[in-house]
Every structure is written in structure tokens, then in C-alpha cells.
Amino acid sequence: MLTLLNLDNLQIALQAERTTQIKNGYLLQGNTIILLHPFEQTRFYRHGWHSWSLTSWIPLPVQLQKPQPEIRWPMIDHPRLLMDYPLTSSGVGALQSPNGKILLLGCLGLDGYVSADNATLRGVYPYAAPGQQCEWFLAYGEEEQVFAAYADQLGQRLGVRCREHPPRVWCSWYGLYGDINQGILLEVLANLSGLPFDVFQIDDGWQACLGDWRANDKFPNGMAWIAENIQQAGYTAGLWLAPLAVAPASSIFQQHPDWLLRGEDGRHVPAGHNWGDFFYGLDVTHPEVQSWLYDLIETVRSWGYQYLKLDFLYAGAMPGVRFENVPAEQAFRNCLEIIRQAAGDAYFLACGSPIFPAIGLADALRVGSDVAPYWDNPERTINLHDLTGVGSLNAIRTTLHRLWLRPLIDVDPDVAFFRTRFNLMFPEQNRLLQDLAHIAGFRATSDLPAWLDPHERQALFEFLQTNPQIKRLDRHRFQINQRLVDFSFIEDVWQV
Ligand code: 9PG
């Protein structure tokens, strides 16, 4: 049905099955929504599929090419979004009006897409069954208010799970990377004494293999023993796992090839390449996988871990043929419900995770790509067109554009750095990551206390100890206590 809307003096022609006005916008029904907009040259808010996927306002028409090589795609974004990169968006898209207001179209389900060109904004649920109710939210107005109204609608459908003060985390990854062992972690633990962390989280490097979630020989006393040490030191013990990703070398891959997701051609679908090989995703609709997963989370909790960083989760949400014929994002959300149940009151941080299906189930979401003790990797950003590459600049860009999720779920911007040792960033760059952590309300670091001079240790102490007043001034500018923090530089990427 064609509807003409007058949104605060903006005339819009809209194709939808039903249009209902509500307090801060409109609810639309329909598998496909087509909307004519008058903006021509403008900016498009593009939202990537999972934690690391590019999320940003992008100039339209856009110059950005597809990231190369394509084999890396699942780690960058949903393969479907490759078709019209970057002008197709996962879940929500928006356009900017010359007067600064925005026009937002967002799905209220799990797997809608929004795309834009110079005349239209379109929404589609490509995986909906015939007759399925497909719901959207449409609003026009000031950016912050429109996103807040959208978040509110999402929260009513998917649930809300956020805290005023998320835990303060020491995470092993961005200091030691895979080079962890029980000795070095105990040493760090002892040196952290006096710093107000809530969680001591062991990252990638403890496991026998991706899929074989038992301690490797760098942890001869086992994972329960180290959790006990962490608790005795006064912290919640945290552990990283990638429970839905499986390496070919794992026993699960060898013994249960039928547990893995397959493509239409019957072959296992690679979910990415890391740890020196391809890895694959589990078929989360398979009953045996579900009980294995429940047991895994229960086991990890029985070892004493009450903070779970579950990573590479998108591997379980890849398109493919499943045991049960359930759309991928719904299958994935059902799986997160199982994880949620098994996790009980443990804090569950979803990383490398599709965003929408995690709302209401995970406690926190990583909302950007990985930071690093360097600003940017131009070879990957410029030459390979990959704005999800590891580095602080890319991480800041995507996190900044996902802060609107904050009323729904804790948002993890990744760690901040206080060390100058083993760090290529300038002090101002370190400061920006620290500021973003305050803005997001989630504070973490991977700095080894032994690397910090007294000054840096004091800065870390204050970072953890204080809750500054935050005021958002506009899209890129914030006031932190009395200080102005300006992230406009993230737009520079569009000048090249
Ligand atoms: C452990 C890490 C850390 C980190 C996670 C995740 O594109 N990539 O090759 C790529 C590799 C690793 C990665 C993200 C992307 O990082 O975000 O915090 O836990 O795994 O392996």
C-alpha cells in the first residue's frame, strides 16, 4: 500500500502493508518496505552484522570498495552484505537530512536489512516465511532521540539487560596475546593488587584446541585451580571461549562432522581463517550440539568462572543448511537462550556476535573491531579496503556509532591502554580510547602492571576509580566533566 507521510515537514512516499503512528515515530508492517527520500547526496548510517563489522555514517554516493580478499568475509561482515557493500545495512539504516535531522528505518525482528541509494531507503526481511509478521520502526528527527526511540522499541521486543556500572576488567589479550601460561597470569594477578578491577579474564591461549575446551599444557594445574587463585585475590574469574567455532584438528570436528554447519552443496562452511587454519561453525539447531553446549558452559562455571567472554559467535549464525529448518538468526538466538540458561547469573559478554539476536540475552556486546597498541594498519584499511582491521582507529569508529545500544545492553568498546611500553600510540590516542571507555561505561585494560611506570599506574587507578560526568554534544563530540572530547577525525577516512 502506498502511503504519504508528512514527518515534521518532510514529505515521504512509502510502500508498506500497514503504517501505524506511535509516540515517537511509526510502526510499519511488511516484508519489504520502500520509501522515497528527497535527500540525494547525503549520508547513510550503515550498521554491520556482527561486533567487528563496519558501522558508520557513510557519504552517499560512496567511494568505499569491498574488502579483499573475499575468503576473510565472515570475519568482516555477513556474506550477504558483500553484494552491495557498504550500502546494505544489518537491521537498521538511516539517512541524514540537510537540516541535520535523520530518517531512520530499523527492523524490529532479528534479520532485516536496510539499503539506500540516492532516491530510496528500502527494508527487507529476506528470510521471512510467507505470511510471517515483519515489523519495522520509522522515525524522523534529532539523531539522538530517533535512535533512543528505536532502542526503546527493540527493548520492548527483545528485552533489556544492562547495568549502571558494568564490571571493570583486566583481560589478558592485548598485553600477552596468545602467549599466556599459568605462571605469568599468577604474576600479573599479584601485581594488580591495589587496582580496583572486578574481573580478571583469561583470553585465548589456554585451550587445547578450538572445540576442545580443556586446558593445554601451559596450564598444568587446570583451569579450576587458576580460577580459585583469581577468586582468592578478590576478583571474579573470567574466561574466553569461542564455543560455536571448531578447528579441523579438534576431536569434536573429527568425531562429529554432522554437528557442523553445511552449505547447500553439503560441504562444511568455513566461518573464517584464524589460528593457522580455517575454522567452522556448529549447527546450533542440532540437539546434540545443544546439549554439548549447555554442558560446556556448565563445566566452565563449575571451574569457577563467572564472567564469560564468548567469542566468534557469528560462526553459529552463518547462512547454511541446518538440522532444523530455522532461519539463521533465529537459530542463533535460540542457541543464545541455551547459553543464557546454562550461564545462570554469570556475566556473559558476546564478542564477534551478530548484534540483534544478542539483545536481551547477553549481558554485554563487543560493539567494535579489535583495538591494538597502534592506531591504524593502513595496508589493510586502505589497500584492502577493510575498515574492520585490528587497530584503535577502526575500533573507535564502529563503537562510536553503536553507543545507541547502551540502554539495551552493556557495550564493550574493547580495552584502553595506559602503558607506553610496547605501545606505538601517542598519548592523545591512548586518551581517546580511555575517554571512549568512560563514554561507553565499560572499562578494561590488558596492560601488565609491571609495564607501567608510577605515573601510568596512577592514571589507570583513576580511570577505574572515577565515574566522570558525560554529556554528548553531537554525533562526534562529548563533554567529559569539563573537558571537550572530539572524535570528528574518524570522518577523515572518507576524504581519501
Ligand atoms: C582472541 C581474540 C580476542 C579479541 C577478539 C577476537 O580478523 N581477525 O583475524 C580477528 C582475529 C581476532 C579477533 C578479531 C578479528 O579478536 O575480538 O578480543 O579475544 O579474538 O583470539
Q: Is the pTM of this model over 0.85?
A: yes
Among protein residues, the one whose CA lies closest to atom 16 of ligand 1? 370
Q: Are strands 236-241 and 305-310 parallel, antiparallel or unpaired?
A: parallel
Stretch 67-74: mean pLDDT:
83
Q: Which of 165, 108, 101 is nearest to 134 (CA)?
A: 108
Among protein residues, the one whose CA lies closest to atom 21 of ligand 1? 204
Q: What is the pLDDT of residue 81?
A: 92
Ligand 1 pocket by Cβ (under 6 Å): 52, 75, 173, 203-204, 240, 274, 311, 351-352, 370
Q: What is the pLDDT of residue 465?
A: 98
Residues forming the active site? 311, 370
Q: Please, what is the average pLDDT of the chain?
A: 96
Q: What is the pLDDT of residue 444?
A: 98
Pocket of ligand 1, candidates 274, 310, 417: which has the most ligand atoms within 8 Å of its Cβ, to mutate?
274
Buried b / exposed e across 329-359, counting CB within 10 Å, b at 16+? bbbbbbbbebbbebbeebbbbbbbbbbbbbb
Q: What is the pLDDT of residue 495?
A: 79
pLDDT tens digits, residue range 84-142? Answer: 899 999 999 999 999 999 999 999 999 999 999 989 999 999 999 999 999 999 999 99
pLDDT band at residue 496 under the 50/70/90 scheme? low
Pocket of ligand 1, candidates 71, 176, 309, 370: which has the most ligand atoms within 8 Å of its Cβ, to mutate?
370
pLDDT tens digits, residue range 216-238? Answer: 999 999 999 999 999 999 999 99
Instruction: Examine the pLDDT at 416 and tell me if it is beyond 80.
Output: yes
Q: What is the pLDDT of residue 83?
A: 84
- Percentage of residues in the chain with pLDDT exceeding 90? 92
Minimum-distance ligand 1 atom for the alpha carbon of 76: 7
Instruction: Examine the pLDDT at 320 and tell me if it is beyond 60.
Output: yes
pLDDT band at residue 383 under the 50/70/90 scheme? confident
Q: What is the DSSP string of 212-240?
A: EEEE-TT-TT-HHHHHHHHHHTT-EEEEE
How far is C-alpha 362 from the geometric centre of its chain's CA atoms? 11
Q: What is the pLDDT of residue 72?
A: 82
Instruction: Examine the pLDDT at 56 and tell me if it is beyond 90.
Output: yes
Minimum-distance ligand 1 atom for the alpha carbon of 351: 17
Q: What's the gap in Å between 420 CA and the centre of ligand 1?
A: 22
Return the beta strands (E) in 16-124 as ranges.
18-22, 25-29, 32-36, 42-46, 56-60, 88-90, 92-96, 102-107, 113-116, 120-124
Stretch 417-433: mean pLDDT:
98
pLDDT band at residue 382 under the 50/70/90 scheme? confident
Instruction: Examine the pLDDT at 65 and tell me if it is beyond 90.
Output: no
Q: What is the pLDDT of residue 63?
A: 78
